[in-house]
């Protein structure tokens, strides 16, 4: 253990009841136990409880910055509340050396009927700032929040962005030795965001230890040197920020795949036996029949070795194979796959005709079509496949099924994709620079 | 490095009454500026966007007096010989009772109203719970001023002890605070407890000489009244400040003791279950 530590979390765990009923029951039981002078055992889960944070340990030194990442419900906020002393751990301990500031809810405690100016004093007091300090720095706060001309207006008439900007500006005037930040960097316009980052960078340079909780990969990458990736209360990955971002992205892609399948199942159940093709995907193709003589029986995605796999590394080749039953002769047959990304539909198509594989006519029989995708430039994420059979001579789809297979593209070890989680393609680009005198 | 080290760790179950009081005093001392600032915030905010503005503080008790006067004039209430004009008797009694109930409700309500701050800032919970009390101090002062006006209108000369009337209300405030902290501790976990408790205290009002001189012939009721500390916390300040009658001093002192004990118990309860309370806000 370092002698230079500023934050030390040792085996932190916190549990909660899954339902309000459980929470109330255990709350009353525990309170009575404590009132009678007995200790409440926090180490064991009781029926209906779960670990919101489990056995989290880390140590930070002066000037370190730690990013905390994880999907919703992974325990990030609970961990933050443990670090700020809002929640008491059920197991373990956290030690903080130095003054601590928290940018958890910029604007918490604002009274809507009071003016911005009046609220500055209230909020400053909540953050532990003496009145004299607030008075001395009020002009800085106003300038930082970019609210000149609005300070004597009731806060209830502010936009939500103005409220958060004012809250951030007040908090930014404190200069703690440990700063805990929760998802407040996406506030305001670009200029204001830049100010927020500048504030964090300035604190970092001055040796402040920063703990930043964010879903924004870019924010964590910019501010933090190290990160932890939490899932269901536990630290799944801990280490250099880039490694953790990769793990986080991959987990997000896998989670999107699971969520998509769940939605599909529920849609199928809700819509009964005749799901519209645009909504309800039929992952199980075995019972899907076409009226036009073509039925796709199976789709699988495999690697170069031929083994079916759910995920692939960025840039890794993969093969899509389809088993297709044809019951009558078809001229100018075309098999087409359409890829959907998590946020967008039809991001690209793989069409047999476009790929230079015309099928003039096919006779009845069972066919296996496979297509190898070389050096795919799909960025890490979750993608689903739709399959269609068409004929140049037939206006409608001979066969169409949505979301018949899915793939997860994992982050490569040697590159970091942080710039935009919704971007889909990584073009094969090469940067080049030449210096010229100004 | 000799910087301040803050440690948050699992509860060791060793909180004693003394340590709870010590932590509470330290928390209150540290957060005195915050309590003042929250008082100013709440006080200022409650009078914004209202026609009567600050006058509402005076108007409210005057309207309640009108109600009492009406009840007395119609003969709806027959309080017996109370020794002073009935409107004064009623006003003082209900003011003290109102202070007791409002204190409990305010403390409990402050915890719920400031739930967001408790979840998001490191402000001591007891400071936020007690922040609303500053309004009660103001209410006592306004009630005293209105009482003086009533005395002038009724041309009733009170005893010299009227000068310490606000001080005589202090035990009621303390009792309300203690019970309010207990209610807040449990009421946040099980929300209906507070409603039940306040309803229960509504019944207790009729066993306390608030709106009539509670001298029952029924032995059980008489015993309840005699052992009810609120009997003395309401009657003694009224008797002493109006008539100079200190006959109930022993009961009042006992009532003060009960009030202090309730405050100590309330603080202990609050700190004992504070963490569970915050988790369930």
- Tell me whether B38 touches chain A (CB under 8 Å): yes
Which of A27, A84, A113 is opposite residue B48, by nearest beta carbon? A113
- Note whether A216 and A284 are same-domain residues: no
- Note whether A100 and A242 are same-domain residues: yes
Which of B33, B48, B279 is opposite residue A131, by nearest beta carbon? B33
pLDDT value for B221: 84
pLDDT value for A273: 46
Using a 10 angstrom Cβ sphere, with 0-12 exposed, 13-18 middle and 19 or more buried, the burial of residue A141 is buried
CB A211 within 8 A of CB A68: yes
- How many independent structural domains does chain A possess? 2
Residue A44's Cα: distance from chain center in Å? 30
A192 is written with which tokens? 């204001």
Note whether B120 contacts A105, CB cutoff 8 Å.
Answer: yes
Residue with tokens 């009226």: A291
Find the closest chain B residue to A80 by CA distance.
B120
- Note whether A244 and A360 are same-domain residues: no
A335 is written with which tokens? 């098999």
Backbone angles phi, psi at B231, to 5 degrees: -55, -45
Query: Would you say the pTM of this structure is higher than 0.90?
Result: no
d(C-alpha A181, C-alpha A102), whole Å: 6
CB B238 within 8 A of CB B93: yes
Distances (CA, A) of B256 to A322, A419, B172: 87, 67, 8
Angle between helices B86-113 and B229-243 (to 10 degrees): 130
- Note whether A296 and A227 are same-domain residues: no
Note whether A113 contacts B185, CB cutoff 8 Å.
Answer: no
Closest CA to B15 of B261, B270, B273, B272: B272
Give chain A positions within 8 Å (CB) of B44. 111, 113-114, 118
Note whether B38 contacts A125, CB cutoff 8 Å.
Answer: yes
Mean pLDDT in runs of 10 for chain B (281 residues)?
Answer: 82 82 92 84 72 64 73 70 81 89 88 81 84 76 83 89 91 94 84 84 86 78 89 93 90 96 94 83 74
Where does residue B71 fall: left (phi above 0), alpha (psi -120 to 50 degrees), or beta otherwise? alpha
A384: domain CATH number? 2.70.50.60
From A252, A282, A312, the end of a domain falls on A252
* Sign for the pseudo-dihedral over CA of A329, A333, A335, A336: negative
Q: Which spans in A354-407 are helix H?
A: none
Other CB atoms within 10 A of residue A182 CB: 21
Residue with tokens 């409440």: A40
pLDDT value for A209: 93
Find the closest chain B residue to A97 by CA distance.
B5
Apex CA A86: angle with CA A68 and CA B104, to 5°? 155
Closest CA to B169 of B110, B113, B234, B226: B234
Q: Which spans in A67-130 are helix H?
A: 76-83, 116-126
Contacts of A32 (CB under 8 A, 6+ apart): none
- Note whether A79 and A220 are same-domain residues: yes
Which of A93, A121, A131 is opposite residue B8, by nearest beta carbon? A93
Give chain B positions within 8 Å (CB) of A93. 7-10
Q: Looking at the DSSP assignment, which residues form a beta bridge with residue A94?
A: A9, B8
Q: Looking at the DSSP assignment, which residues form a beta bridge with residue B5?
A: A97
* pLDDT tens digits along B66-104: 777 777 778 776 666 777 888 788 888 888 998 899 899
Asked whether residue A124 is assigned to any structural domain, the reply reads: yes
- Note whether A179 and A102 are same-domain residues: yes
pLDDT value for A275: 40
Note whether B120 contacts A100, CB cutoff 8 Å.
Answer: no
Length of chain B: 281
Give chain B positions within 8 Å (CB) of A168. none
Asked whether residue A49 is assigned to any structural domain, the reply reads: no
Identify the DSSP state of A437: -
Note whether B3 contacts A177, CB cutoff 8 Å.
Answer: yes
H/E stretch holding A372 reads strand A365-373
Find the closest chain B residue to A21 by CA distance.
B190
Other CB atoms within 10 A of residue A148 CB: 9
Contacts of B168 (CB under 8 A, 6+ apart): B161, B236, B237, B240, B241
- Note whether A71 and A217 are same-domain residues: yes
- Note whether A153 and A293 are same-domain residues: no
Note whether B276 contacts A30, CB cutoff 8 Å.
Answer: yes
- Binning chain A into helix, strand and coil, the percentages to the nearest 5 are 30, 35, 40
HSE-CB for A270 with a 13 A CA cutoff: 10
- Note whether A190 and A286 are same-domain residues: no
Which of A4, A16, A122 is opposite residue B41, by nearest beta carbon? A122
**Most A CBs within 10 Å: which of B2, B4, B6, as the mutation test of the A interface?**
B6
- Tell me whether B192 touches chain A (CB under 8 Å): no
- Tell me whether B267 touches chain A (CB under 8 Å): no
Asked whether residue A46 is assigned to any structural domain, the reply reads: no
- C-alpha Rg value of chain A to the nearest Å: 28
pLDDT value for A276: 36
d(C-alpha A135, C-alpha A317), whole Å: 63
How big is the A-B interface in CB pairs under 8 Å? Answer: 143
Which of A16, A85, A98 is opposite residue B4, by nearest beta carbon? A98
- Tell me whether B45 touches chain A (CB under 8 Å): yes
Distances (CA, A) of A242 to A1, A57, A67, B116: 24, 20, 11, 34
- Note whether A247 and A295 are same-domain residues: no
Contacts of B269 (CB under 8 A, 6+ apart): A35, B181, B182, B185, B186
CB A227 within 8 A of CB A68: yes
Give chain B positions within 8 Å (CB) of A96. 5-7
Closest CA to B274 of B20, B16, B18, B17: B20
Asked whether residue A142 is assigned to any structural domain, the reply reads: yes
- Note whether A238 and A294 are same-domain residues: no
A127: domain CATH number? 3.40.50.300
Asked whether residue A91 is assigned to any structural domain, the reply reads: yes
Interface ipTM: 0.75
d(C-alpha B281, C-alpha B168), whole Å: 35
Min Cα–Cα distance to chain A from B270, Å: 10
Note whether B11 contacts A121, CB cutoff 8 Å.
Answer: no
Which domain, by its residues, includes A312?
A: 274-410
Give chain A positions within 8 Å (CB) of B267. none
Residue with tokens 């789809």: A397
- Tell me whether B27 touches chain A (CB under 8 Å): no
d(C-alpha B212, C-alpha A412), whole Å: 83
HSE-CB for A320 with a 13 A CA cutoff: 24
Contacts of B265 (CB under 8 A, 6+ apart): B178, B182
Asked whether residue A26 is assigned to any structural domain, the reply reads: no
pLDDT value for B265: 94
DSSP three-state, residue A53: strand
Beta strands of A127-214 (E only): which ranges?
178-182, 209-213
H/E stretch holding A340 reads strand A330-341
Closest CA to A174 of A106, A224, A96, A91: A106
- Note whether A186 and A320 are same-domain residues: no
Residue with tokens 């899509």: A320
Residue A292's Cα: distance from chain center in Å? 43
Note whether B5 contacts A96, CB cutoff 8 Å.
Answer: yes
Other CB atoms within 10 A of residue B52 CB: 11
Asked whether residue A208 is assigned to any structural domain, the reply reads: yes
Which regions in chain A score pLDDT beneath 70? 1, 105-109, 184-188, 261-291
Asked whether residue A188 is assigned to any structural domain, the reply reads: yes
Give chain B positions within 8 Å (CB) of A31. 185-186, 189, 272-273, 276
**Most B CBs within 10 Å: which of A17, A125, A129, A180, as the mutation test of the B interface?**
A125
pLDDT value for A107: 65
């Amino acid at each position: 253990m370092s002698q230079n530590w500023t934050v030390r979390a040792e085996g932190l765990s916190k549990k909660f009841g899954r339902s309000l009923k459980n929470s109330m029951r255990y709350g009353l039981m525990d309170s009575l136990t404590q009132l009678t002078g007995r200790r409440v055992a926090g180490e064991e889960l009781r029926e209906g409880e779960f670990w919101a944070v489990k056995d989290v340990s880390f140590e930070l030194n002066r000037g370190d910055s730690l990013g905390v990442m994880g999907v919703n419900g992974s325990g990030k906020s609970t961990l933050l509340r443990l670090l700020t002393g809002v929640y008491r751990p059920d197991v373990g301990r956290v030690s903080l050396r130095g003054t601590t500031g928290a940018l958890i809810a910029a604007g918490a405690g604002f009274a809507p009927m009071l003016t911005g100016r009046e609220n500055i004093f209230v909020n400053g007091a909540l953050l532990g700032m003496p009145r004299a300090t607030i008075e001395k720095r009020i002009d800085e706060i106003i300038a930082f929040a970019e609210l000149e001309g609005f300070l004597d207006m009731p806060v209830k008439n502010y936009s939500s962005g103005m409220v958060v900007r004012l809250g951030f500006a007040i908090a930014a005037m404190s200069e703690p030795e440990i700063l805990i930040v929760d998802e407040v960097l996406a506030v305001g316009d670009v200029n204001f965001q830049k100010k927020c980052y500048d504030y964090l960078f300035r604190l970092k340079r001055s040796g402040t230890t920063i703990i930043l909780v964010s879903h924004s990969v870019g924010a964590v990458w910019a501010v933090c040197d190290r990160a932890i990736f939490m899932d269901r209360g536990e630290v799944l990955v801990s280490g250099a920020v880039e490694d953790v971002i990769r793990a986080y992205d991959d987990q997000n892609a896998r989670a999107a795949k699971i969520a998509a399948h769940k939605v599909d199942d529920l849609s199928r159940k809700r819509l009964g036996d005749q799901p519209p093709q645009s909504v309800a995907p039929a992952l199980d193709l075995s019972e899907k029949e076409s009226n036009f003589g073509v039925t796709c029986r199976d789709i699988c995605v495999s690697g170069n070795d031929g083994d079916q796999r759910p995920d692939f590394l960025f840039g890794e080749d993969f093969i899509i194979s389809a088993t297709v039953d044809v019951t009558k002769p078809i001229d100018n047959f075309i098999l087409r796959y359409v890829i959907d990304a998590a946020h967008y539909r039809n991001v690209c198509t793989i069409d047999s005709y476009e790929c230079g594989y015309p099928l003039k006519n096919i006779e009845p029989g069972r066919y296996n079509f496979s297509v190898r995708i070389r050096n795919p430039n799909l960025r890490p994420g979750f993608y689903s496949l739709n399959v269609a059979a068409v004929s140049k001579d037939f206006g409608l789809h001979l066969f169409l099924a949505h979301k018949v297979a899915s793939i997860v593209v994992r982050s490569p070890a040697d590159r970091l994709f942080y710039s935009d989680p919704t971007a889909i393609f990584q073009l094969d680009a090469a940067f080049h620079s030449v210096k010229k005198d100004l | 490095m000799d910087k301040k080290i803050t440690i948050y760790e699992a509860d060791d179950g060793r909180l004693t009454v003394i340590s709870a009081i010590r932590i509470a005093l330290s928390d209150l001392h540290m957060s005195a500026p915050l309590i003042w600032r929250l008082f100013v915030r709440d006080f200022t905010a409650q009078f914004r966007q209202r026609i009567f503005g600050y006058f509402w503080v005076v108007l409210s008790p005057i309207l309640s007096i009108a109600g009492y006067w009406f009840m007395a004039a119609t003969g709806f209430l027959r309080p017996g010989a109370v020794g002073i004009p009935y409107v004064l008797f009623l006003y003082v009694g209900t003011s003290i009772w109102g202070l007791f109930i409002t204190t409990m409700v305010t403390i409990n309500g402050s915890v719920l109203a400031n739930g967001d701050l408790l979840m998001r800032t490191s402000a001591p919970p007891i400071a936020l719970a007690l922040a609303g009390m500053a309004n009660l101090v103001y209410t006592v002062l306004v009630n005293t001023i209105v009482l003086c006006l009533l005395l002038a209108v009724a041309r009733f000369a009170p005893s010299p002890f009227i000068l310490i009337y606000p001080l005589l209300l202090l035990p009621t405030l303390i009792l309300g605070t203690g019970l309010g902290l207990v209610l807040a501790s449990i009421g946040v976990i099980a929300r209906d407890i507070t409603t039940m408790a306040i309803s229960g205290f509504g019944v207790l009002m009729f066993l306390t000489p608030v709106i009539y001189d509670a001298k029952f012939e029924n032995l059980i009721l008489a015993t309840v009244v005699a052992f009810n500390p609120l009997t003395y916390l309401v009657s003694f300040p009224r008797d002493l400040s109006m008539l100079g009658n200190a006959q109930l001093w022993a009961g009042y002192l006992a009532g003060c003791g009960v009030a202090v004990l309730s405050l100590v118990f309330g603080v202990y309860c609050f700190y004992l279950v504070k963490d569970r309370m915050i988790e369930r806000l």
